[in-house]
Amino acid sequence: MTVLRTTWATRPLALGVAAAALLTALPLSSARAADERPALRITGGATQPVFSRAEAVYQHVDIETATDSDQDGRRDTVRMRILRPRETDAGLKVATIVEASPYWGGGNDVPFHNVDLEEDGLPGGKGRTGLPGLYETAAGADPAPLNASAVVFPGYTDNYFLPRGYAVAQLDSVGTGGSTGCPVSGGRAETLGAKAAVDWLNGRARGWDPEGRPVGAAWSTGDAALMGISYNGTLPTAVATTGVEGLKAVVPIAGISSWYDYYRAGGGVVAPGGYQGEDADILARAVNSRAGRDVCAPVLDRLTADQGRASGDYTAFWRERDYLKDIGKIKAGVFLVQGLNDWNVKTRHAARLWEALEEHDVPRALWLHRAGHSNPMPLRMEEWLAKLHQWFDHWLYGLDNGALDGPRAEVEQADFTWRQERDWPAPGTRDVGLRLTADGGLSPVPGRTARHTLTDAGRTLRAEQLVAAPDERNPNRLAYTTGPLGADLRISGTPTVSVRASLDGTSPYVTALLVDHGTDTRATAGTVADTSQLVCYGEGVPGDTGCAHRTRHRTETADFKIVSRGWLDVRNRDSLERQSRVVEGREYRLEWEMQPQDYVFKKGHRLGVVLISTDHDYTLRYPAGTRMTVRAGLSGITLPVAPPAAGVPPVSPWPGR
């Protein structure tokens, strides 16, 4: 067993520290106040674990929001459950780490939309049933006891951060758990519901205890952080874009930055990976766990009507749920985390958010890891806790601890080591264009033109089946490959595709797949627990040991890997906001982005591009038979190619160059 903490039975309580450096971090106005009140202990520029998790104070509060999403004539309320150091009842003021979620109250089983369309474009048959793509394990109902030692919060923030002088809190999003209102899948009411928690911590919103008595947060410094993964990682970005005072730090882990990019792409209806047929209305129905949930039926019906599955146009519905347009309002430090194998909340969310943060000069840090839709904490436990601790100490307690010093980005490599970089994409990255050639190759040198045709069979064949064996003729795909690469080739950023193509048939989709051909053992989206590695990171209580097993990457040995994908509805070739008429058989210039990536194609492997129409696991599936004709020689892909690692001589990876 690895132990990261002191022995809790012998650690002292924090009663007062006279160091001048500490006084700057305390919510006290004078040295005399510091002598009379319990205080944080700060050593080496970091808060120390001197408060008892077992003796913490537990409370829950219902907070008034600024919205009435269920239209019952009363403002919505959101329920927040709080654990805070016992010393806050004796004058200690602390900052708060909040995890807002629609999942604490549990979920519902909801039928998904059917994605197999008939000739007239209408759904046929019943869709699948299952949990939505952002679903995570719920914490269950509100804890009954007021004895905090009997209250179990999922995760590690209470075990690790409460002893260091933080309050930690769970917030039920509108329409879920103990809150009122209705879930709206990223809509404004949801954002303002979570924002109300920050307002209450600052005395700007009203709150009531379980007996209905008004209650404030006299123990709060007013400074707060929002963090979480998945939907819980989406809400921090949403709230930060309101510019709310008091929100000092956010940690979005695998969070959505634009809901359009979650359920749509390139004008098409595109699903999150693994959840074909899910949409904004399905998710809202799945998390509608409030008391009297039937009151939300009209709201949920409007979501179904307004999201628009007949097309993937970017409408007012999606604009309301696009946080990127308001990044300039963010006042918090943003620590952004994304899995490079995440096909649920895809890499585009982190890449576009990172770019917008840079544009507005928002203080920021970035971690890119090799897993999928997962929390990096058990993968890199000591480093994760140290980074998070430093981030919160700096932003919530004003400690000058180097949180913003050094490289902004850390990227996990294929061998699971980590590389620090000044920024991301990797500095020095440049665009390199490769043409699709008449003989099925990929080359930086222009060649002759030729027309190549495929017949869509994506309704029954998955992309992985269509990518395999690139040198064999397959009428249902177009495959182009380089020769064996002469050197490692790293891409860092967003590949883009440009093709001259025509379609004949019912499917409006064109899909591009970027492929690494070469037998290798590579990380997949999954992780596995290492039961030989139990790490105790914080103080335990009954039902919560404060320990966890490390995890490691799940790997797979295969002949190829789909590195990135990209989709376009040709009707939206000119605009995401509106469709344009498509004439069957007419050739159009089509351009679209693939999912951003940081990936090394190894020396000796071949880089491939595969073009298909329907992507079985992501796009709507029209009847088979659409013919797609592509003009090789006038079509190609542009790759963001990073420079070689330091000390590696520059060698052209392209065969014959």
**Helix, strand, or coil here: 195?**
helix
Report the C-alpha gap between 423 and 502 in whole angstroms. 39
Report the C-alpha gap between 358 and 353 in whole angstroms. 9
CB 280 within 8 A of CB 268: no
> Which tokens is 513 given?
């797949």
Report the C-alpha gap between 78 and 179 in whole angstroms. 4
CB 563 within 8 A of CB 599: yes
Q: Which is catalytic among the residues 69, 179, 185, 230?
A: 230
User: Quick check: is 373 catalytic?
Assistant: yes
CB 436 within 8 A of CB 442: yes
CA-based nearest residue to 654, from 432, 383, 336, 502: 432
Instruction: List phi, psi (to 5°) of 397.
Output: -120, 5
User: Quick check: is 322 catalytic?
Assistant: no
How many Cβ atoms sit within 10 Å of the Cβ of residue 38?
22
Report the C-alpha gap between 450 and 584 in whole angstroms. 19
**Helix, strand, or coil here: 325?**
helix
Burial class for 586, CB neighbours closer than 10 Å (0-12, 13-18, 19+): exposed
**Helix, strand, or coil here: 625?**
coil
CB 454 within 8 A of CB 511: no
Report the C-alpha gap between 461 and 509 in whole angstroms. 15
The DSSP line for 275-304 is -TT--HHHHHHHH--STTGGGGHHHHHHHH
> Any idea what DSSP says for residue 424?
S
Q: Do strands 547-569 and 478-481 pair parallel, antiparallel, or not at all (unpaired)?
A: unpaired
> Any idea what DSSP says for residue 260?
H
CA-based nearest residue to 620, from 304, 307, 278: 278
**Helix, strand, or coil here: 499?**
strand
Burial class for 132, CB neighbours closer than 10 Å (0-12, 13-18, 19+): buried
Report the C-alpha gap between 117 and 111 in whole angstroms. 16
Residue type, 21: A
Sole residue written with tokens 């330091």: 646
Report the C-alpha gap between 445 and 657 in whole angstroms. 10
User: Quick check: is 553 catalytic?
Assistant: no
Torsion-angle region of residue 398: left (phi > 0), alpha (psi -120 to 50) or beta? left
Residue type, 109: D
Q: Which is catalytic among the residues 60, 113, 369, 373?
A: 373
Asked if the bond preceding 425 is cis, omega within 30° of 0, the reply is yes
Q: At what angle do helices 231-240 and 188-201 cross, to 10 degrees?
A: 70
> Which tokens is 246 given?
């008091």
> Any idea what DSSP says for residue 542?
T
Q: Which is catalytic among the residues 76, 313, 342, 615?
A: 342
Which residues are known catalytic residues? 230, 342, 373
